[in-house]
A and B are shown apart, each in its own frame.
Chain A
Amino acid sequence: MDAQRHLVLVLENGVADESIIHYSLKLAKRMDCAISVLMLVSYDKENHAQADMGKRVLLHAEEIIKKEGIRVDHEIRQGDKASEFLKYIAVAPTIAAIIWGSDEKIVTGRRRKKSEHWFEKVRPHITYPIVTPRTRAKKDTTSLHTSQK
């Protein structure tokens, strides 16, 4: 039985900011967690490029995380992102927190207009803390936003 808790790093569209991977590493060390990297890509006949890119990103992320001695696994899911994400967390091992590795404004609520983004819709149903990196404009560094339900 897997008793170690996991941080789930959620990425989408085949891309990832490397600073988010490094942040996840530091948080995982501090919280004594393993990391699960989940890449979500929408299903589209024309969308093979994103899926291929996503696989490469996941392998790269896994390599960085493994080097630091943190347990890591990854998965790519293609289809309806909201549905795939909810299915993933329903069967995932014990989750300590979710790191949202895509557009931070979706979680921080800093969008001017209400977003139609899928994550905004599923967020109220997530009971885990959500940690959200965001770019700090002035100092040109990344910042974090934690949301706990």
Chain B
Amino acid sequence: MSADKKTKQEQPVSILIVDDDDITVKRLEHLLLKIGFGVQTASDGMGALSLVRENTFDIILTDLMIDEVGGLDILELAKSRSPETEVIIITGYASVDSAIEATKKGAFHYLQKPIRPDEVRHIVGQAVKNLKLSKRVRELEDEIETEHAFAGIIGKSPKIQEIKTLIRHIEDSDSNVLITGESGTGKELVARTIHETSRKRQGTFLAFNCAAFHEDLVAHELFGHEKDAFTGASSVRAGLIESADKGTVFFDEIGDMPLAMQAKLLRVVQERELLRVGGTEPIPVDIRIISATNKDLKELCSTGKFRQDLYFRLNVIHIHLPYLCERKEDIPILSAFFLKRHGRRMEKQITGFSAETMKLLTEYGYPGNIRELENIVEHAVSMARGKTIRVEDLPGDLSEYDAFTFHQPTSQIKTLEEIETEYIAWVLGKVGHHKSEAARLLGINRASLYRKLKRAMLEDG
């Protein structure tokens, strides 16, 4: 549990007492302070409303008939600001019916005058229990929601449904996965989801950004080093791949991996072993590799910047993530998700977006994809003063500039040869690169398979 949550739990229950009868207020205040609650009081309706507007109380004890502002007005305002606040109505014998009516409108209970300390203790105690229960339920709901969002990628669009289905289909597979898509489309989230739903979920998930390191650093980070491998290497150090044994390694920006490192990675993929820098003894590793890129790897292969054999080994299962503007129907649900996330973080009770704001959000083009949408919503939540996000709360350029989108289709038509090569690589992956078995499944002889592998550069020679 976070320190923040702990602090909140340790705070005393805050109670507001509202009554125009000073004696009742004093008696209740004395009694509740003695129990250990934090107590504030108001002797008139306007003062009470002002306190409710400025503070969030856990419990409010209010007289039903105060002045021109009644207990029901206080109940309504308190519940609209904080639905979890428990309101207890104080009433005289003559207005018991009205008090019962108030409970139907959301009041927790009613106390009949004259006030009896035992009854107050009991009803307030019940309200505190209820409060704790509500908080726990909310915490659990939050946990479930987070889990759901983590394991289930958010969105209802056909493209996202397809991706979810594919991830479900590969739950029992250890095949390598290549995720393509522009920056900000959620590639790492998909990679984590694949890991969390796979047989390797008990193992570690380690992410490595290939674009963030120089070539020599990539080698050290990925493969580790032996003692005295270079000046300053005073001890053996396991690299990231070794540390992820029995788990998953996620290579982000794989298209930026230096060629020399690609050769080393190919060895890991093919032989399932690695050599530490300065080492001579191969170390066996059992990892699944998920790679991601926003570059055209096939194009990089054709210009010699990416090894084709490695490309086919990594691309056993391919998942392409669409631009956000290609799944506009998901923008409202994603916006609502980010609103909840940041509203909770900033402790703001914002219920939604105005229609005009949502229209603007849906029409915008998002060159930065989902990450940009989250950034926009976060900005809006921090700016919002009311319960609804308005156009004025959005970043200036969005509200000042009109935005409409067109885009060209991202799908590419593959040649038969490409499809054949990808299928062969997939079958090989399924059978653990056992060529006789792969040839049998493909319905061709071993010689034909070798010829095809050589042509596709999946095999040396």
Contacts and interface: CB of A to CB of B under 8 A. Distances in A.
Interface in B399-415: 400-408, 410
A130 to B, nearest CB: 8
Given A1-B214, A3-B211, A141 B400 contact: yes
A144 B395 contact: no
B397 A129 contact: no
Contacts of B281: none
Given A27-B397, A96-B183, A146 B365 contact: yes
B366 interface: yes
Contacts of A109: 406
B166 interface: no
Given A30-B375, A96-B367, 14 more contacts: A1-B212, A1-B213, A1-B256, A27-B368, A30-B368, A94-B256, A109-B406, A134-B402, A143-B404, A144-B397, A144-B403, A145-B365, A145-B405, A145-B406
A136 B402 contact: yes
Contacts of A30: 368, 372, 375-376, 379, 395
Contact of B401 (A1, A127, A144): A144
Given A136-B402, A143-B402, A149 B365 contact: no
A127 B296 contact: yes
Given A31-B367, A31-B371, A145-B365, A23 B401 contact: yes
A134 B183 CA distance: 25
A5 interface: yes
Nearest to A136: B402
A83 interface: no
A142 interface: yes
A26 B396 contact: yes
Interface string A48-63: 0000000000000000
Interface string B165-190: 00000000000000000111000000
A147 B405 contact: yes
A141 B402 CA distance: 8
Given A1-B214, A145-B404, A27 B183 contact: no
Contact of A133 (B211, B323, B368, B401): B401
B323 A129 contact: yes
**B211, B256, B401, B404: which has the most chain A beta carbons within 10 Å?**
B401
Please tell me the size bucket of the interface on A: 20 to 34
A110 B397 CA distance: 22
Nearest to B184: A31
19 contacts: A1-B256, A127-B296, A129-B182, A129-B323, A129-B367, A131-B367, A133-B401, A143-B401, A144-B365, A144-B397, A146-B403, A146-B405, A147-B406, A147-B407, A148-B323, A148-B325, A148-B367, A148-B405, A148-B407
A97 B402 contact: no
Interface in A98-149: 109, 124, 127, 129, 131, 133-134, 136, 141-149
Contact of A97 (B256, B367, B397, B406): B367
The 8 closest A-B pairs by CB, nearest first: A146-B365, A143-B402, A97-B367, A129-B367, A31-B368, A148-B407, A26-B397, A3-B212
Interface string A63-98: 000000000000000000000000000000010110
